Amino acid sequence: MNTADAALAIAERLLDPHRVATAAPSYGIATLADGLPGTALLHARLSAVDPVFGAAANAHWNAAAEHATSAIGQGAGIYGAMGGLTASLVLGSPYLPDPDVTATATARSVSWLSARAADIAALYAESIRVGGAGTSWHVYDTISGLAGIGRVLLAAVVGGNAVAEPGLIAALTAMTTMLTDNGVPLPGWWVPTEQHPAVVAARLDHSGAADTGLAHGVAGPLALLALAHCAGYTVPGQQTAIRDAVAWLERWRADDHGWPDHATGEELDDGASITRHGRRAAWCYGPLGIARSLMHAARALDDALLTEAARADLAQLGALRNDWGIEAPTLCHGYAGVLRCATDLHAGVAERAAAGVAQSLDLDRPFLVAHVEHGISHDNPGFLTGAAGVALTLSDLAGLPSHPVTTPWDAVLLIA
């Protein structure tokens, strides 16, 4: 089975929204991470291949909207329900033969997301005013915070949806404040231990942590600020914040092979170098996602040396002959994520990742490909750790036709 056939075979197994909803975890049916918004995005991307996919995209969006009404309390993050549906509509609709068929729903969703961004930014500004200690992932990160929300709003603004601009400016202002060096050891994105999700907090000491990666660390807000700058959307101090974030990442690099997943509060206070590594090869953490963020920063700053440094990070990964520590073929911390990060930047890494995805295909699995976590296979249909994300990656790798778009689907990963 070649790459194009694999992408289409996965998509065909994901055509029925009821089947997707049944296979998704109950908490994730309406989310971009696990459910219908992710499969809708896949089908929209493939709508130029066959009209059946365009019809499926609309069916999945409608089903997602029905399920999202019971998930309204999940927050505004773009991998949740309402935020995820908005992201899927904003990035998916332009792939359709007639994007106007979703114009009303998209405008309504964007208006909601823009207002939520302004709310989050206002709460963050108030916490700074009263001297609050630290922040949380839900304020700033790609998955649940303003980095991801801001990226979707930027795509909406660039696509002509002016109602997104107030929320975008609010997000840029908040992230500029957060990333600007304030002259103390703990950076603006330091999160107290108790503010982390419980499963993460259990692995931290009492001093909290400042994360590095693209999913939950400084690389996400950095990518947003840089991408917005390149698109012509800036707020006062934005370029300085970009420089400060780049400098912080360079300061806390473990060695030529990458970064720790985080620096603890005690390590930040002490200032000593950290030698431990986080993930070697993943979108969410480690040199791949961070390198993509640094590439965006290099364009924003017109810094050729930074471009070379980011490419060198990928070259170091390509030179590793031992196992990358990858179990899954999926996007978040699997081969598909490596492939999307390395595409157009390092052919060797991309080819090795593509081979990893191909070797994971299994005709006996319900969606042809399964996510693997701690040795256990999961038949997830969704975007982040599921079949839809793999199929999107394979669609681009195969060069399957698509209608021209201003912002590609992987903007939701802040890769673009």
Cite the annotated binding site by residue number: 284, 332-333
DSSP 265-300: HHHHHH---------SS-SSSSHHHHHHHHHHHHHH
Distance CA 286, CA 265 (A): 19
Give the closest residue to 152 by CA, choosing from 217, 83, 216, 251: 83
Residue 345, number of CB atoms within 10 A of its CB: 18
CA 49 to chain centre: 26
Amino acid letter at 120?
I
Residue 334 has phi, psi (to 5 degrees) of -130, -175
Using CA atoms of 361, 363, 369, 371 in order, give the dihedral in degrees to the nearest 10: -100
Residue 191 has phi, psi (to 5 degrees) of -120, 125
Distance CA 148, CA 323 (A): 30
DSSP 220-267: HHHHHHHHHHHTT---TTHHHHHHHHHHHHHHT--BTTB--SEEEHHH
Give, rounded to a whole angstrom, the gap between the first and last alpha carbons of the chain.
29
Token pair belonging to 361: 């295909």
The DSSP call for residue 205 is: -
Give the closest residue to 416 by CA, choosing from 385, 381, 392, 387: 392
The DSSP call for residue 191 is: B
Residue 144, number of CB atoms within 10 A of its CB: 26
Give the closest residue to 46 by CA, choosing from 414, 388, 411: 388
CA 245 to chain centre: 18
Give the closest residue to 310 by CA, choosing from 321, 319, 320, 299: 299
Binding residues for Zn(2+): 284, 332-333
